[in-house]
Amino acid sequence: MEKLWYVVNTYSGHESKVKEKLEMRAESMGFQDYIFRVIVPETTEVEIKDGVKKEKTKKMFPGYILVEMIMSDEAWYIVRNTPGVTGFIGSSGKGAKPTPLLPQEIDRILANMGMSRLDADVKLEKGDKVNIIDGPFKGMEGTIDTVDLENSRLNVLIDLFGQETPVEVELFQVSKI
């Protein structure tokens, strides 16, 4: 059983309340080992009105939250029966388990929010071997040369036409071998 990301449908406008309730339920029922992160996908937009700069938070997917969890019968039940949840996306109903998001899909969403799917416990260091799973160098293997966690970037040395070539990739574009 592995941690995967699922899309949960909620009442529109109630995303933050559902997030709080779900986190509280997971904690009170002892399911922190199954339900990890609950995220309301949001972006910050800068608006200039009458010469005044204002930052405005906008929901990327109104009526939806993202849940990182290990799909077990009990965890599925807890999420489905949280007040405000109308169901999972990618489930045919009739008791069928939902389909998780693909790594590329969640990576793009989290990158737009300045976050990463990679856990803090997955340490990336100089010399580590990685697969590039997204972008122009997709499918290539390389060795990490430098790590810039602050900007979520890596310099990876790949074999390009028989020569070791450094390329810059974002954290979400690699998986550790």
Instruction: Provide the residue-wise pLDDT of the chain in tens; the chain has 177 residues.
Output: 788 999 999 999 999 999 999 999 999 999 989 999 999 999 888 888 888 888 888 899 999 999 999 999 999 999 999 999 999 998 776 777 899 998 888 888 887 787 766 654 457 788 999 888 888 898 999 999 998 876 778 899 999 889 999 999 887 788 788
* CATH number listed for the domain at residues 129-176: 2.30.30.30
> Residue 121 has what pLDDT?
43
pTM above 0.85, yes or no: no
Contact 109, 6 (CB under 8 A): no
- Domain boundary assignment for the chain: 4-112, 129-176
User: Which stretch of DSSP H or E encloses residue 167?
Assistant: strand 163-170
Determine the Cα–Cα distance for residues 140 and 138; give it in Å rounded to an integer.
Answer: 6
Residue range 4-112 in CATH 2.60.120.560: no
SS3 65: strand
Joined tokens for residue 153 = 């970037």
